[in-house]
């Protein structure tokens, strides 16, 4: 219990420092990279929420973009951040929950692809995806990232970020 409290305090302090330092260009802090992805998802989700049944082409393009970017984001989290967190008792449950939240998002994305874009249910299902991802982003940027900042030194987070950037670059070049 004391270890968890200490991790939380270290994470909160490191998070405050990260707010200042992550604004520097070229920063490879893993959590700052993931937060940038999160802001992009929030923008895409807002766009999807504003579509209507008449916007078949727009919904199709948006869903294709969301799918590609979400797949990449999940890959770097599941192959880099989550295993690193899972190695620590304070991060294990957070990582396991993250895997499950990704699974739910993937199911919703698949169902959206399978549903005609002009179906009256598409907007409702997209809203559920948005709510799910909003929750997931809140969980990550709150307890998960606070815990990560308490467990890992800045240099370790930068090394994780460099791994993530390399994976993204390799995937984009395929």
Q: How confident is the model at residue 22 (pLDDT cuts 50, 70, 90)?
A: very low
Of all residues in the chain, the percent with pLDDT exceeding 90 is: 75
Residue 16's pLDDT is: 46
Query: What is the per-residue pLDDT for 38?
Result: 97
Question: What is the four-CA torsion angle of 135, 138, 142, 148, rounded to 10 degrees?
Answer: 80
Confidence at residue 21, expressed as pLDDT on a 0 to 100 scale: 44
Residue 27 binned pLDDT confidence (cut-offs 50, 70, 90): confident
Cα 149 to chain centroid distance, Å, stands at 16
Specify the residue for token string 């991060």: 91
CA 24 to chain centre: 21
pLDDT of residue 15: 52
Give DSSP secondary structure letters for 98-156.
Answer: HHHHHHHHHHHHHHHHHS-TTSHHHHHHHHHHHHHHHHHHHHIIIIIHHHHHHHS-HHH
pLDDT at 17 over 50: no
Q: What residue segments make up the domains of the chain, in order of their start? A: 2-172
Evaluate whether the domain defined by 2-172 bears CATH number 3.40.50.280.
no
* Residue (of 3, 147, 157, 129) closest to 67 by Cα position: 129
**For residue range 49-95, what is the model confidence (pLDDT) as tens digits?**
888 778 889 899 999 999 999 999 999 999 999 999 999 999 999 99
pLDDT tens profile 98-136? 999 999 999 999 999 999 999 999 999 999 999 999 999
Specify the pLDDT at position 2. Answer: 64
Residues 129/49, Cβ–Cβ less than 8 Å: no
């Amino acid at each position: 219990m004391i270890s968890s409290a200490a991790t939380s305090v270290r994470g909160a302090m490191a998070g405050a420092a990260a707010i200042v330092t992550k604004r520097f260009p070229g920063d490879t802090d893993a959590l700052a990279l993931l937060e940038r992805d999160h802001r992009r998802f929030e923008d895409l989700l807002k766009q999807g929420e504003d579509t209507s049944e008449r916007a078949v082409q727009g919904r199709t393009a948006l869903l294709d973009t969301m799918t590609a970017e979400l797949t990449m984001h999940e890959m770097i989290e599941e192959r880099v951040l989550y295993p690193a967190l899972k190695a620590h008792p304070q991060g294990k449950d957070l990582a396991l929950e993250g895997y499950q939240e990704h699974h739910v998002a993937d199911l919703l994305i698949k169902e959206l692809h399978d549903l005609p874009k002009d179906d009256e249910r598409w907007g409702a299902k997209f809203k559920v995806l948005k709510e799910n991802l909003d929750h997931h982003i809140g969980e990550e940027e709150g307890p998960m990232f606070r815990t990560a900042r308490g467990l890992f030194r800045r240099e370790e987070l930068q090394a994780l970020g460099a791994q993530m950037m390399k994976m993204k670059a390799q995937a984009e070049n395929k």
